[in-house]
Amino acid sequence: MIVYGKNPVIEALRSGKEVEKVLVAHDGHPPYQVLKLCKERGIKLQKVPRQKIEEMAGTKKTQGVLALLSPVEYVAPEELFHETLEKGSFFLVLDHLTDPQNVGNLLRTCEVLGGVGALLPKDRACPINQTVVKASAGAVFYLMLSKVSSLSRSLRAFKEMGGWVVVVERGGKSLQEFSFPRGCGLVLGSEGEGVSRSLLEMADAVVSIPMQGKVNSLNVSSAGAIAMWQASSQLNG
């Protein structure tokens, strides 16, 4: 959902709605109230060409400011963790994925296979937008989604609650030989960089998908689907 113009954006920020980020034209001066509210709520503010804002809004009457509102309501990470531990299930940790099709496909698979939801970073990640909603076939509306400033800090809290962190990455134990613990977070790395070192270092386990063919890599949504199926067959079976 897109909101543009000084006053509509200010009211969207004041209302407590889930705002993914605010775009301001780099050739202008962002309204003080917009800057203040973004800082107070920890919302990313990004300077972009005015033309981009006008293209997204479909009009030149934007006053150089536009807000992207999330179509979903986020929950506190503690709620996601508690639900996962109570059900003995799993949730996804999407480590700075930027492709909306991948994010949507992963969330769709998560919901289909009985996962609880997903933990997402606030920065350097694809927002939950209309493209993600469509790619997920609406699965986002049935999942618990939490957005945090630090994945590693949040996952440390999850581990303190009794949860397990399982990274899906090359060089780990074969997925076929791994027994998924009840109540775990499945970490999937970004399309280009893979899983962050900080998450690899804190992981309770690193698991890999055995590969037999000449192409020795999988798209993240495909790798995630295989890992989730394996986890689901053990945890939800």
Contact 128, 108 (CB under 8 A): no
pLDDT band at 68 (very low <50, low <70, confident <90, very high): confident
What average pLDDT does range 41-52 have in this prediction? 89
Whole-angstrom distance between the N-terminal and C-terminal Cα of the chain? 38
Residues 150, 127: one domain?
A: yes
What average pLDDT does range 70-84 have in this prediction? 92
Q: Looking at 14, 46, 69, which one is the last position of a domain?
A: 69
Residues 122, 229: one domain?
A: yes
Task: Identify which of 70, 106, 69, 73 has the alpha carbon closest to the alpha carbon of residue 218.
Answer: 106
Tens of pLDDT along 99-142?
A: 999 999 999 999 999 999 999 998 888 888 878 888 898 888 89
Residues 157, 210: one domain?
A: yes
At residue 107, the pLDDT reads: 95
At residue 101, the pLDDT reads: 93
Rounded to the nearest integer, the mean pLDDT of the chain is 89
H or E segment and range at residue 2: strand 2-4
The CA dihedral of 119, 122, 125, 128, to the nearest 10 degrees, is: 70
Print the domain residue range for 184.
77-235
Residue type, 56: M
Residue type, 33: Q
Contact 162, 84 (CB under 8 A): no
Residues 122, 211: one domain?
A: yes
Residues 161, 223: one domain?
A: yes
At residue 172, the pLDDT reads: 82
What average pLDDT does range 53-79 have in this prediction? 89
At residue 163, the pLDDT reads: 96
> For position 86, which CATH number holds?
3.40.1280.10
Q: Looking at 17, 36, 69, which one is the last position of a domain?
A: 69
Q: Looking at 48, 69, 90, which one is the last position of a domain?
A: 69
Residues 125, 64: one domain?
A: no
- When divided into structural domains, the chain yields a total of 2
Distance between CA atoms of residues 46 and 152, nearest Å = 24
At residue 8, the pLDDT reads: 86
> What tokens appear for 121 in the block?
């970073």
Residue type, 159: K
Residues 207, 164: one domain?
A: yes
Distance between CA atoms of residues 67 and 181, nearest Å = 40
At residue 16, the pLDDT reads: 78
Residues 42, 112: one domain?
A: no
> For position 53, which CATH number holds?
3.30.1330.30
Residues 47, 145: one domain?
A: no
Contact 167, 205 (CB under 8 A): yes
Is the model's pLDDT at 215 over the cut of 70? no
Q: By percentage, how much of the chain surpasses pLDDT 90?
A: 52
Measured CA angle at 229 (ends 223, 235), to 5 deg? 135
pLDDT band at 49 (very low <50, low <70, confident <90, very high): very high
Of 30-39, 49-58, 204-213, which range is least confident? 204-213
Distance between CA atoms of residues 66 and 55, nearest Å = 11
Is the model's pLDDT at 79 over the cut of 90? yes
- Coil, helix or strand at residue 149: coil
Tens of pLDDT along 198-210?
A: 999 999 999 988 8
Residues 120, 171: one domain?
A: yes
Contact 171, 206 (CB under 8 A): yes
CA atoms within a 13 Å half-sphere pointing along the CA-CB vector of 180: 26
Residue type, 136: S
Residues 116, 193: one domain?
A: yes
Residues 116, 194: one domain?
A: yes
